[in-house]
């Protein structure tokens, strides 16, 4: 059995006084985090499964660490999740309790659950003496992370400890990630990127995390300029940094930011493709190359540029240690050679165990011999560097690094009384990568709903990041002879 967080087992001496996490003014040492999470672990030890109200705060870190130490699977919830999505996740994952900070006010849907308030200053003296939760077996579920598909509501990806440990250790190998690293980021704590890489990553290494609470270019400059060694972000964040660094922007902020980025040990982008233009702008202003890694909720990290490797803009690097990767044709033929373009399939200790309550979807996502079908289409060059060239499903949208299914938004739009027909597409966006665009036939063409009303409706039912940023009203949706909406011709308009 592998300990996921050895540095928190029983820190003593100098190890106990090292900073583990900092969120604004609130900082916790390893000793304090061990104490608070041990105390909380004792309170939830008998919970079958817990939900975590995953605000970007130290309380979320304590809650997740406590669940891991108690061996209780945790379901991180986006605190902005709308009614319909929250109801689905709660019905599907059946948590018995919700862990939240003292100032949080989770919505009525969570009132049925036992509320466990996270106390950042709790000490382990409240817990049974010597309570050193041994964690659980390697295959035991550690986290259940919800992720969108092309149709239907999000699915809960069950992530065992084995996958988390394997993926973080492969990144340690690729990046020379140590306990001396101070990671800076502003990622949400309810997805793999921010929570597993961004929180459990530093904690597994015995290093520290400084979370900005909310992304800002000033915050990045401040934290990297005062001891941060690594930055994790989605391409939208690097785009916003590149905008400030652009020569035409000028000003003191530009100089400070360029200096801070130049001084970092590692700048890492992931969750979506980093445009080469942004990559080049950052390199020109700082002399530093952003490196990319490629992963997925279900696979955790599959490939990555090594810290000591050659950063090639536009590629996501070779497979990480322990990960097998292959390209496969539509008919299942395995492809070889630098000319080959096919679906990326991966296999290894980094894989999830399956989708909660969805054996059908789990089976459909795997081949008979255990390869996971990513749905991403790529190439592999002679040196093993992978390039993502597209995606099999046109109904998946990546906006700001969030994966969004067109189908879930269409269903919610159709539930609005002012909407008769709806189609959702992703359109290129310089800031978000893609933006959600809705094509709507109004129930009453003479008084269509306002675009903001529809955006609010989606934000309220699903989540703000899923709201359409543009709404087009049409007299009819283009359909083929079988009645299927022809989404490609929508874009042509
Ligand atoms: C706006 N807001 C609304 C509405 N409109 N709220 C309710 N109803 C509305 N109609 C609010 C928002 O809640 C937010 O509030 C503010 O207005 C701006 O929202 P938004 O426009 O969505 O923010 P943004 O500027 O577009 O955000 C960009 C971002 C964000 C910061 C880059 O997209 C982000 O954090 N992305 C990270 C995604 C991520 O971590 N993905 C990892 C999954 P307020 O201003 O108060 O905030 S992928 C993964 O994990 C795999 C494994 C991988 O490979 O990494
Ligand atoms: P999610 O399902 O939200 O975890 O998102 C995973 C998806 O994000 C992958 O299947 C890819 O399509 C995309 N992705 C993650 N990292 C990268 C990257 N570095 N370059 C391009 N796409 C990426």
DSSP-assigned beta bridge partners for residue 62: none
* 296 Cβ closer than 6 Å to some ligand 2 atom: yes
Which of 144, 238, 398 is the best mutation target for the ligand 2 pocket, counting ligand atoms within 8 Å of the beta carbon and taking the most? Answer: 398
| Token representation of residue 194 | 């921010």
Distance set, CA 5 to CA 60, 128, 170 (Å): 16, 20, 15
CA of 400 to the centre of ligand 1 (A): 7
CA gap 195, 290 in Å, rounded: 21
Tokens 């992304």 correspond to what residue? 215
The residue whose CA is least distant from atom 5 of ligand 1 is 464
The residue whose CA is least distant from atom 12 of ligand 2 is 376
Question: Which residues fall within 8 angstroms of residue 324, CB to CB, at 6 or more apart?
Answer: 346, 347, 348, 371
Max Cα distance, the chain (Å): 73
φ, ψ for residue 140 (rounded to 5)?
-65, 140
CA gap 307, 317 in Å, rounded: 11
Beta strand pairing call for 155-160 and 291-296: unpaired
CA of 191 to the centre of ligand 2 (A): 12
Beta strand pairing call for 342-347 and 354-355: unpaired
194 Cα nearest atom in ligand 1 = 40
Tokens 């081949």 correspond to what residue? 367
The 8-class DSSP code of residue 448 comes to: P
pLDDT tens, N- to C-terminus, the chain (493 residues) = 678 999 998 888 888 999 999 999 999 999 999 999 999 999 999 999 999 999 999 999 999 999 999 999 999 999 999 999 999 999 999 999 999 999 999 899 999 999 999 999 887 654 444 445 556 789 999 999 999 988 889 999 999 999 999 999 999 999 999 999 999 999 999 999 999 999 999 999 999 999 999 999 999 999 999 999 999 999 999 999 999 999 776 678 899 999 999 999 999 999 999 999 999 999 999 999 999 999 999 999 999 999 999 889 999 999 999 999 999 999 999 999 989 999 999 999 999 999 999 999 999 999 999 999 999 999 999 999 999 999 999 899 999 999 999 999 999 999 999 999 999 999 999 999 999 999 999 999 999 999 999 999 999 999 999 999 999 999 999 999 999 999 989 986 6
Q: What is the number of the ligand closest to the CA of 272?
A: 2
| CB-CB contact of 99 with 116 (8 Å) | yes
The residue whose CA is least distant from atom 28 of ligand 1 is 400
Crossing angle (nearest 10°) for helices 235-245 and 251-263: 130
φ, ψ for residue 43 (rounded to 5)?
-75, -20
Can you list the alpha helix ranges (DSSP code H) found in 176-300?
A: 201-205, 217-224, 235-245, 251-263, 276-286
* 295 Cβ closer than 6 Å to some ligand 2 atom: yes
420-428 own/partner pairs: CB under 8 Å, 24+ apart: 421/476, 421/477, 423/477, 423/485, 423/487, 423/490, 424/397, 424/468, 425/394, 425/397, 425/487, 425/490, 425/491, 426/396, 426/397, 426/398, 426/399, 427/470, 427/491
Best CA proximity match to 160, nearest among 37, 32, 293, 298: 298
φ, ψ for residue 430 (rounded to 5)?
-65, -30
* 297 Cβ closer than 6 Å to some ligand 2 atom: yes
Superfamily for domain range 396-492? ANL, C-terminal domain (3.30.300.30)
The residue whose CA is least distant from atom 8 of ligand 2 is 271
Q: What pLDDT was estimated at residue 383?
A: 94
Q: What pLDDT was estimated at residue 124?
A: 60
CA gap 148, 155 in Å, rounded: 6
CA gap 254, 95 in Å, rounded: 46
| CB-CB contact of 471 with 454 (8 Å) | yes
| Token representation of residue 343 | 């679906």
Q: What angle do CA 148, 154, 158 make, to 5 degrees?
A: 95
Q: What pLDDT was estimated at residue 121?
A: 87
Can you list the alpha helix ranges (DSSP code H) found in 227-313?
A: 235-245, 251-263, 276-286
CA gap 413, 249 in Å, rounded: 40
CA gap 49, 59 in Å, rounded: 18
In three-state secondary structure terms, 489 is helix
Q: What is the number of the ligand closest to the CA of 216?
A: 1
Q: Provide the phi-psi class of 388: left if phi over 0, else alpha when psi is between -120 and 50, else beta.
A: beta
Residues with C-beta less than 6 Å from any ligand 1 atom: 80, 187-188, 191-194, 214-215, 234, 236-237, 270-271, 295-297, 400-402, 432, 455-456, 459, 464-465, 467
Domain boundaries, the chain: 396-492
| Token representation of residue 36 | 């608070």
Best CA proximity match to 432, nearest among 404, 399, 464, 458: 399
Q: What is the number of the ligand closest to the CA of 468?
A: 1
Find the radius of gyration of the CA atoms of the chain: 23
Q: What pLDDT was estimated at residue 249?
A: 66
Q: What pLDDT was estimated at residue 126?
A: 47
Between the two ends of the chain, the Cα-to-Cα distance in Å is 57
Question: Which residues fall within 8 angstroms of residue 263, CB to CB, at 6 or more apart?
Answer: 224, 225
* 294 Cβ closer than 6 Å to some ligand 2 atom: yes
How far, in whole angstroms, is CA 221 from its chain's centroid? Answer: 23
The 8-class DSSP code of residue 485 comes to: B
DSSP per-residue letters across 87-119: HHHHHHH--SEEEE-TT----GGGTTSEEEE--
User: In this structure, is the dihedral angle defined by the CA atoms of residues 224, 230, 234 and 235, taken in order, positive or negative?
Assistant: positive
């Amino acid at each position: 059995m592998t300990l996921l967080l050895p540095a928190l087992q029983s820190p003593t001496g100098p190890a106990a006084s090292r900073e583990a996490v900092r969120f604004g003014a609130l900082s916790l040492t390893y000793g304090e985090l061990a104490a608070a999470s041990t105390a909380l672990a004792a309170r939830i030890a008998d919970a079958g499964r817990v939900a975590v109200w995953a605000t970007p705060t130290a309380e979320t870190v304590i809650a997740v660490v406590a669940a891991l130490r108690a061996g209780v699977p945790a379901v991180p919830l986006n605190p902005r999740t709308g009614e319909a999505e929250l109801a689905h996740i709660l019905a599907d994952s059946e948590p018995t309790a919700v862990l939240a900070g003292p100032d949080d006010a989770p919505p009525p849907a969570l009132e049925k659950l036992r509320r466990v308030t996270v106390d950042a200053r709790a000490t382990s003296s409240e817990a049974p003496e010597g309570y050193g939760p041994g964690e659980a077996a390697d295959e035991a579920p550690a986290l259940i992370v919800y992720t969108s598909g092309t149709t239907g509501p999000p699915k809960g990806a069950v992530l065992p400890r084995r996958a988390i440990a394997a993926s973080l250790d492969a990144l340690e190998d690729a990046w020379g990630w140590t306990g001396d690293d101070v990671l800076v980021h502003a990622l949400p704590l309810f997805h793999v990127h921010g929570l597993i890489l961004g929180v459990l990553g530093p904690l597994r290494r015995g290093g520290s995390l400084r979370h900005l609470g909310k992304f800002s270019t000033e915050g990045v400059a401040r934290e990297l300029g005062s001891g941060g060694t690594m930055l994790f972000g989605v391409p939208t964040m690097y785009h916003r940094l590149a905008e400030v660094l652009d020569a035409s922007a000028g000003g003191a902020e530009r100089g400070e930011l360029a200096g801070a980025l130049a001084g970092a040990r590692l700048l890492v982008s992931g969750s979506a493709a980093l445009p080469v233009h942004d990559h080049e702008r950052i390199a020109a202003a700082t002399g530093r190359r952003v490196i990319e890694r490629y992963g997925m909720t279900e696979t955790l990290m599959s490939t990555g540029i090594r810290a000591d490797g050659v950063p090639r803009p536009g590629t996501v690097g070779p497979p990480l240690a322990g990960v097998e990767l292959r390209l496969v044709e539509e008919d299942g033929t395995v492809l070889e050679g630098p000319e080959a373009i096919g679906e990326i399939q991966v296999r290894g200790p980094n894989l999830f165990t399956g989708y909660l309550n969805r054996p059908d979807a789990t089976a459909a996502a795997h081949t008979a011999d255990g390869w996971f079908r990513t749905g991403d289409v790529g190439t592999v060059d002679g040196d093993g560097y992978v390039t993502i060239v597209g995606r099999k499903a046109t109904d998946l949208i990546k906006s700001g690094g969030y994966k969004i299914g067109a189908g879930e938004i269409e269903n919610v739009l159709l539930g609005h009384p002012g909407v008769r027909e709806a189609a959702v597409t992703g359109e290129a966006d310089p800031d978000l990568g893609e933006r959600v665009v809705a094509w709507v036939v109004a129930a009453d063409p003479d008084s269509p709903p306002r675009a903001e009303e529809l955006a609010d409706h989606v934000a309220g039912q699903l989540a703000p990041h899923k709201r359409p940023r543009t709404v087009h009203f049409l007299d009819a949706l283009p359909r083929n002879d079988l009645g299927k909406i022809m989404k490609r011709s929508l874009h042509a308009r």
